[in-house]
Amino acid sequence: MGGARSRAVALFVVVALSVLVATGSAAPATAGPFAVKTASLTQVGQQLRWTVVLDHSFSGSGLREDHRSLCLRLLPTRPRLSSRQLCVAPPRSDHGMLRLQLDRVVDGRVRAGKTIAATIARPSAGALTASFTPAAVGLGFRSLRWQVSSALGAPACVPSGAASARGSASGPRSTAGAEPCAVLYPAQPTLARLHTPKLVGCVARGQSLVFNGSPKRREIALAFDDGPWNDPPTIDFVNLLARYHAPATFFEIGDQISTYDRTGSVERKMLADGDMIGDHTWTHPDMVGLSPSQQRSQLELTAAAIRRATGFTPCLWRPPYGDISDQLDSLARSLGFLTIYWDIDPRDWSLPGVAEIESNVIDNAHNGAIAEMHFGGGPRQETLAALPDIITTLRHRGYKFVTVAQMLGLRMIYR
């Protein structure tokens, strides 16, 4: 009797395992596309943030293996602009991250594109949050319409009955004229009103005295002192860096702003190009020799001048001559500044020649380096002439150019 019971239990286990092997999962199969519980597309500073929550857990490889897709459709409001969609793609490797692939939709046909730069997070097994810039998808800060598509493709797609009519309890069901096995959320494309963000500040965090960034990231920051200036004009530096797509950080002397950038147009272009502006005091004194009230005045007057010219309040400062004390560092931090030093110094202020400036920066480059150079305080044609070779050589060696604020991961404030 006991042997018969054991054989029956064993037979049940074998049958159950056979079912699991056949289905590939202990979870019940889902006949139609996964329903969308919630979705949103919002602007956060310079980024667009897409958030979607499905009624079912998913992975990039799982979507592909089950012939499923999860896409954000972007529908420009202007005529003659093609629609596009961002679709969740599996990682390129076993330990990689999910990707977003940009496809264009022309005359109803999807033209597969490439992976875009995006930051992707998984708040839960059924949710995804992705952040990317409008430029990454070929759009500007214009209003657009959006819609999420959760679809089931061939051969799994059976466009009939409950499978094609499936939708979330609070959301839309499949839309006529769309794929027969697709859920669109919301039922009609929703307008996202975008605006060109204006940078108004940054938030200091981390240690107050900074010499370099992370040795783990192949980044380098070019940081220029003593401007704005007219020999050569500061705009020459700004335009050259923009042509080479190399953002930089400019530490400015407050008393010179009204003389060499009277309208603030050059400084506003810096920020528009992705450069960063820092405080280099009002008159470039040896700050350690001043009283605390004089030190405060030097920093606050310059920050106010930058703010009047651009609407931006800096959170970085660099001490003239590199002179610092614990008291001065603490004062600057209390005013919302990080004290920024450097670990590459080509001594370009001494006019050593273009080749010497180039070789000094290139030979001393390393992960997280901050290079101190000058865009004012004297004739700076040598420094300007050295930049193209510095940028192209280091970029060829795998370096990415960033601002000091980017290197430190500081939060930018936009409105």
Tens of pLDDT along 238-255? 999 999 999 999 999 999
Among this protein's residues, is 374 annotated catalytic?
Answer: yes
Domain boundaries, the chain: 36-192, 199-414
The tokens 């380096």 sit on which residue? Answer: 369
- pLDDT tens-digit map of 164-216: 344 433 333 333 334 569 999 999 999 999 999 999 999 999 999 999 999 99
List the single range of 20-24, 91-95, 376-380 with lowest mean pLDDT.
20-24
First-to-last alpha carbon distance for the chain, in angstroms, is 79
For 25-108, strand residue ranges (E) read 36-44, 47-54, 68-76, 83-89, 99-106
Catalytic residue among 225, 261, 275, 348: 225
pLDDT at 11: 36
For the CA atoms of 312, 314, 315, 318, the dihedral, rounded to the nearest 10 degrees, stands at 170
Catalytic residue among 261, 280, 348, 374: 374
> What average pLDDT score do residues 41-64 get?
94
- pLDDT tens-digit map of 339-358: 999 999 999 999 999 999 99
List the single range of 27-31, 127-131, 167-171, 260-264 with lowest mean pLDDT.
167-171
For 61-215, strand residue ranges (E) read 68-76, 83-89, 99-106, 109-111, 119-121, 127-132, 144-152, 182-192, 199-203, 209-210
> What average pLDDT score do residues 269-285 get?
97
List the single range of 148-162, 318-332, 384-398 with lowest mean pLDDT.
148-162
* pTM given for the model: 0.77
Name the pLDDT band for 111 (thresholds 50, 70, 90). confident
Among this protein's residues, is 225 annotated catalytic?
Answer: yes
pLDDT at 150: 97
Q: How many residues does the chain have?
A: 415
pLDDT at residue 23 is higher than 60: no
Mean pLDDT over all residues of the chain?
Answer: 88
List the single range of 15-29, 268-282, 370-384 with lowest mean pLDDT.
15-29
Asked if 246 contacts 401 with a C-beta cutoff of 8 angstroms, the reply is yes
CATH of domain 199-414: 3.20.20.370
List the single range of 16-20, 243-247, 303-307, 354-358 with lowest mean pLDDT.
16-20
For 264-415, strand residue ranges (E) read 276-279, 316-317, 338-340, 369-374, 400-401, 411-414
Asked if 247 contacts 406 with a C-beta cutoff of 8 angstroms, the reply is yes
pLDDT at 113: 84
Contacts (Cβ under 8 Å, ≥6 apart) of 385: 354
